[in-house]
Amino acid sequence: MKKPTCLLYLISPLDVGGDFPDRLTEALDAGPVAAFQFRVKDLEQHEAAQLAEPLQAICAARDVAFIVNDDIALAKRLDADGVHLGQDDGDPRDARRELGPLAQIGVTCHASRHMAMEAGEAGADYVAFGAFFPTTTKAVEHHAEPEILQWWQGMFELPCVAIGGITIENARVLVDAGADFLAVSAGVWAHPEGPAAAVKAFGALLGDQPAG
């Protein structure tokens, strides 16, 4: 049987200044990471772009996809690898027109099967479900259960991302339910032993996946 593969998808903290480029380098050099999402809030586009550029270069040097959160215009300005859209951040079709056929477009679908199917029909490259666990990264309005990942995998080929409060300790249930990617923020950046230790631990977990 084909062995299922779940990959790590890092989401930035809101503060990506200071020594964060060094911390990102440390994390990406510690083990396999598929993608990095640049997520900042309430910044003018020029300032956001200045913060993004060194991080984008770090990702490019390591063949890690650089995804911009919520902002199609910023993603286009940076020539990013893709954009991640919340339900109020634009239509995947518009993102595709702006960013081109090769861009990776993801859509937040909370715990909604209907939203996920709509996103797929609109041309999204992946759908994100969550939050699965309590998180301090953002206010949680929607709670998802692992069963939605099992349902999605049984119905669709499009990859699904699990997000929300994911740590080394609670991730296994999401891997077993069929998540293609684990989107992790505080579980890496706030890890008591540092981001490299967290990425190594996730790497060990994801490298020991049950045969399906």
Digit-coded pLDDT (tens) for 106-159: 999 999 999 999 999 999 999 999 999 988 766 667 899 999 999 999 999 999
Architecture of domain 7-206: Alpha-Beta Barrel (3.20)
Neighbours of 103 (CB within 10 A): 21
Task: Give the model's confidence band at 209: pLDDT under 50 very low, under 70 low, under 90 confident, else very high.
Answer: confident
Confidence of residue 1 (pLDDT cuts 50, 70, 90): very low
Tokens representing 101 are: 């056929």
Is the pLDDT score of 212 beyond 70? no
Q: Write out pLDDT tens, residues 62-75.
A: 999 999 999 999 99
Whose tokens are 């049984």? That residue is: 154
Cis previous bond, 131, omega within 30: yes
Question: What is the pLDDT at residue 142?
Answer: 81
Tell me if the pTM is above 0.85: yes
SS3 189: helix
Helix 45-61, helix 20-28: angle, nearest 10: 30
Longest dimension (CA), the chain: 49
Domain boundaries, the chain: 7-206
Residue 174 has pLDDT above 80, yes or no: yes
Q: Return the pLDDT at 140.
A: 67
Could you tell me if 85 and 70 are in contact, meaning their C-beta atoms sit under 8 angstroms apart?
yes
Beta pairing class for 181-184 and 35-38: unpaired
For 40-90, the pLDDT digits (tens) are: 999 999 999 999 999 999 999 999 999 999 999 999 999 999 999 999 999
Please, what's the b/e burial string for 166-204 (b: 16 or more CB within 10 A of its CB; e: otherwise)?
bbbeebeebbbbbbbbbbbbbbbbebeebbbbbbbbbee
Identify which of 106, 170, 176, 118 has the alpha carbon closest to the alpha carbon of residue 147.
Answer: 176
Share of the chain above pLDDT 70, in %: 95
**CB-based burial, 112-147: b 16+ in 10 Å, e otherwise:** beebbbbbbebebbbbbbbbbbebebeebeeebebe
